[in-house]
Structure 1
Amino acid sequence: MDTFVLRGVVSVPLVVSAALGAGSVPGWRLAIGWAATAVLVGAVFRGMFAASATDRILGQDSMVFSAVTIAAATATGLAFGGAATVWVPLLGVAAAALAPVGIWITALLAVPPVAAIVVQSWWLDREMWTVVIDLAIALLVFGWVHLRRYRREADELAAAQRQIIEGERARAAAAEDRQVLAAQLHDVLAHTLSGLIITVQGAALAARREGVSPELTEKLDTAAALARDGLAEARDAVRSLRGDDDSPLGSGGESLSDWTASTIERLHTATGLEITVTGSAADVDTPWVALAKSVVMEGLTNSLRHAAGAPVRIEFGATTLRVLSVGAPDEFSDRDHPSGAYGLAGLAERVALAGGTLTHGPCEEGFELTMRMTS
């Protein structure tokens, strides 16, 4: 509303001045004057005086717009040529000062409207002091508008620089937080998983000494191997948080096909989980391999927790990866494992950051976890 009022404050006196100056003007000058006035009013309501410095500098038609405004203000003043319109070329002076060019070019652009003011003053009084006063007013308007433009551009530049600085500070703080989180994760996971590995290995050794069944011994060995894999993947996650993970495959650079095969074999040995694979893991693009491993592991562990006994099917595609717990979700046997509800949410965030989507939920064939990847 304030901008609209400001434009009206400029436009209404402009039209009134043109009407007052049209009394004794020849017809051809009258036509030129009203046409120029119409263009000038349109320029005012287009918002040149309310536009930001950035809009003027970046606008493709800003220079043309300034030139049209200068020409319209000059033509209006010269066409009517009366005392009522002697101030109109000052709008052209202001438009020249706002043009998105250097100071010397804006000064050259201001020459036509300043000349129109001088000519009008001479026509009206033919007194040199009147010409000097009007010329001084034009120079003051030019200097004042140009100074305001310079200050506004400086303020916008300073605001942009502050925004960049704040963004860099935020990124630095986030990086520092990741370093702290990485150290904490390393301490917790490394100590816990290392203790688990030692405990399971000790149990396997004791089982062999006591001559228990080979099947139990094999399961304990598999559990130790899974714990070692978990420790390796935890270290990969820590390196990723620290920003020094240079292996796109993760898990020591093992290919997705080999990793999937070894993981399935160990899980089947340790838990009896029936897992089938369709498609080829080699179809997954390299940037998505680490996430694909996370999706497969999340799907398998969730199936073990919440769909115990249900067979699992892993479907690899060029743009999709699906882990399906086959069966009726209402009939799944939940082992009542506690869940922090962060696994799927965090994984979905990682997939989204990579440009993909992660969905999960019941379907006709069972319960699915699906990642859609961009090529």
Structure 2
Amino acid sequence: MTDQEYRWLQPSAMAGPDLPGDRGRLPRRTLRDWFVDILMFLFAALLGIAAADVADSVGNPPFVVFLDQLVGAAACCALWVRRRWPVGLAVTLVAVSAVAPVASGAELVALFTLTVHRPFKVVAAVGSAAVAGGLTQTVLRPDPTLPFVVSAVATVVIVLLVVGWGMFVRSRRQLVVSLRDRARRAEAEAALRAEQAQRLAREAIAREMHDVLAHRLTLLSVHAGALEFRPDAPPAEVARAAGVIRDSAHEALNDLRDVIGVLRGPAAGEEHRPQPTLATVDALVKESREAGMKVTLDNRIDRPGDVPAATGRTVYRIAQEALTNARKHAPGAEVTVTLTGAPSDGLTVEVRNPAPGGDAPPVPGSGQGLIGLTERAALAGGRLAHGPTPDGGFRVGAWLPWAA
């Protein structure tokens, strides 16, 4: 099907009468349209010539034969506008062919075009008129070589064949249009799914970058702020803070390289650092203690070695973000990390800290860490809650499923 046929078969072109404002917006004729129109013109002309020979052979007066030839030529020429005015042309040719048999070929072409481009109600009305006109022609201009019954039956059969052929072509074109629309919708849906997948991937990468880098950068910010806030600190403390800053910067660079490697895609032979698991929570707590935090770890998990890797990684990220927030907003406070759970019961992680104290400089936060943790827990099939405690502290608690 050509693009022009596709536009013709759209609802605006197939339903209802012709609108005056639509006449200037009809699609341009293609080479295929010219070829089909020429074939239709020749078909109508051949039938008209045959009908004119029959009219001449039965002894009609010369002026009647001449008028028939003029009417037949005009009817064939009118077929060039059959797409622009299919209803009007079909009705006119039905009326003309009732008294001029030479217009019968053009009438059949117009009826076929009407069937292809207009709804069945219009086709049924015009087709009934064509049958009535054919019977009228049989009475007014009978063919002496055929009985009346044969002529009448032939008229009805020919009209039904033309209408049936037109309905078949219309149905086939509508099927092609529906398949094309379905393909376009499928392409649009595929593009939408790809866009959503990209958006989810970007969100996952952003969440991972925040979880990985926030912990390291917070250490840098806290110790740099402490050095700025206490320039008269003992050399030992200054050296220890500088060491933490150096180690945190090195780890942050390594983590950043890992994230950039994920964005670029794995290269051949590239070795990636192992992902954190439940077993690395101890190392996280030790690192926080070495940075000057007071952290207590209470691990009461039954069979910790059976915890799925993805669940353990989620626990690590929750504990890491909670310790980072405690270091930011409650410097000097003692933080308690509690891990409990068993197979089929789920795994619970809770991080608590009392009200902040001291005069350490505040560290600004982005406000996205807890949001990211909530999304991470939801993606794992669990839930996360956070908020202040009655004593002025803060609590972060999460439950994650753990299938047996």
TM-score (norm 2): 0.44
Structure in which a larger fraction of residues adopt helix: 1
| Bigger radius of gyration among the two | 2
TM-score (norm 1): 0.47
Instruction: Kindly indicate whether structure 1 or structure 2 has the higher relative contact order, using CA contacts under 8 Å at least 6 residues apart.
Output: 2
